[in-house]
Amino acid sequence: GTRPAAFSSFPVLIKLIDAASDLSIQVHPDDRYAMKQEGTSGKTEMWYVIDAEEGASILWGFDHLVTREEVRKAALDGTLESLCNRVPVHKGDVFWINAGTLHAIGGGITLAEIQQNSSLTYRLYDYGRLGTDGKPRELHLEKALDVLKYERPVRRGPIGRKEIHQGYTRTLLGSCHYFTVSEIELTGEYMGLA
């Protein structure tokens, strides 16, 4: 449609992520914080699980209400995972990663990440991995602590019922200010989506 014309750059980015091992524990700021501190937009994203190995899980927010100091200490001493809300995932699951939500994709998960077109990420913990320069990858602990929501997120999505059409079905998975995502399953021959 014509809605992207209102933006200086294409407003949405879609990634296909195939995580062989656990990815870093991170958070994204909202637009207000990102503009003030970084001069760019923040990031809200949605994950659609394409496939997941038996027992695969994500980290999504905190297991219980925590304080900034608890998170700082756990990030520094390597126990951050113990504070996190670990959620088993299955093919077809949907997760909203609103700005401010701690998150990490676990190993054995393939997903589609639909997001604001922003690369702004604050890494809290990275399992001691080294970058291409042989040094530990950069962490952004203080900025991450500034933007974190310190409670467990609320699960939402899919938000629509499956609509049956000639040649396909459509289910609204979610919608926010930045994007709308529907799952479309082809059931036969069709001439185009309504």
Residues with a catalytic annotation lie at 123
Structure tokens at 52: 């997941």
Token digits for 40? 């760019």
**3-class secondary-structure state, position 175:** strand
Number of Cβ within 10 Å of residue 116's Cβ equals 22
Two tokens at 123? 């890494």
CA distance 1 to 173: 19
* Bond into 136 cis (ω within 30): no
Q: At 69, phi and psi to the nearest 5?
A: -70, -35
